[in-house]
Amino acid sequence: MSETFNAIVAAEVEGKVKGQLQHLTLNDLPKEEVLVDVSYSSLNFKDGLAVSGKRNICKRLPMVCGIDLAGTVIESASDKYKAGDLVLANGYGLGENYWGGYSQKARINPDFLVKVPETFTLQETMAIGTAGYTAMLSVLMFERQGVKPSDGPVLVTGAAGGVGSVAITLLSNLGYEVVASTGRPETHAYLTDLGASSFIDREELSAKGEPLAAEKWVGVVDTVGSQTLANVIAQTRRGGCVAACGLASGFDLPTSVFPFILRGVILAGIDSVMATMDLRIQAWSRLATDLAKEKINNISRVEPMSDVPALAEQIVAGKIRGRVVIDVNA
């Protein structure tokens, strides 16, 4: 009998889809070209939705959950990778369409893999993970739209979460004045340490507002969506850029055209899942230069894969601070 390994597999149990720890063999894995000995994955909001079954994330079942992973190539039928290479993957439908990272072994399409930048350990790449890489995509979007630190303050919503924590760290390191919106005052010291200079209670942004409000932000990284996104668009300065990357409070957007046609506000969507390989490589190499190692450690903690079902409930409830690395071998 072939050796078994552990994975968190989403399957239908009594009419509900939930992710649970299961034992798989190599024969269970899909027929992809690169076999990876996975060391770490991470906990992202989407993982929380998938494992808890709160939303229909998995496009087919059974599905190994986990939208990202980092590990070592064991064998490869592709000339892009060889045994011993350190690789990471995120997005491209991992954990949704393709078996993902909550697994001690994974077979992956080589086109989904990125070589781990030399500055990072496997654990550090997953401390950043999909959330941190999405934060970097948002920063790159600011730069493409010409939003400069000298232009004025930027706002990060959902500040104490994964995307928010990394966004604050990156923006502050690049010299931006960063205002953080959080619903958890107990995280103020943590967020100050990451680089936030002042705070807005998230309640202030979630109440229904005017279509146009006083101009405050030259850039916004919004992870919350819904009324909060509408309000921050209304508060964005002429020509400023709102990077819309999340839906922690909802996927609707009750806004008007006024901020766009009267102030030229740019609403820029951030899609980490299908970002081009060029953009991924650019994002990971900028993370390697722009994110201090000690900050990565401050933001993250490591938890065993067996705890993923409980952690999934916590992240969906907005109770996780920063980033959680998942040790798939613990």
> Interface with ligand NDP by CB under 6 A: which residues?
44-46, 130-131, 134, 158-164, 182-184, 202, 206, 223-224, 245-249, 270-273, 315, 318, 320
Closest-by-Cβ residue to ligand NDP is 161
Residue 12 vs 204, nearer CB to ligand NDP = 204
Residue 108 vs 316, nearer CB to ligand NDP = 316
Residue 178 vs 247, nearer CB to ligand NDP = 247
Least Å from the CB of residue 127 to ligand NDP: 13
Contact at 8 Å (CB) between 304 and 324? no
Q: Residue 102: is it exposed, middle or buried by C-beta count within 10 angstroms (0-12/13-18/19+)?
A: buried
Least Å from the CB of residue 283 to ligand NDP: 11
Count CB-CB contacts under 10 A for residue 207: 9
Residue 69 vs 73, nearer CB to ligand NDP = 69
Strand partners for 34 = 76, 108
Least Å from the CB of residue 206 to ligand NDP: 6
Least Å from the CB of residue 84 to ligand NDP: 30
195 Cβ neighbours under 8 A, 6+ residues apart: 168, 169, 171, 172, 173, 178
Residue the block writes with tokens 């009750």: 254
Least Å from the CB of residue 122 to ligand NDP: 19
Helix (H) or strand (E) holding 21: strand 16-25
Residue 34 vs 299, nearer CB to ligand NDP = 299
Contact at 8 Å (CB) between 53 and 20? no
User: What is the rounded CA–CA span in Å between residue 152 and residue 137?
Assistant: 20
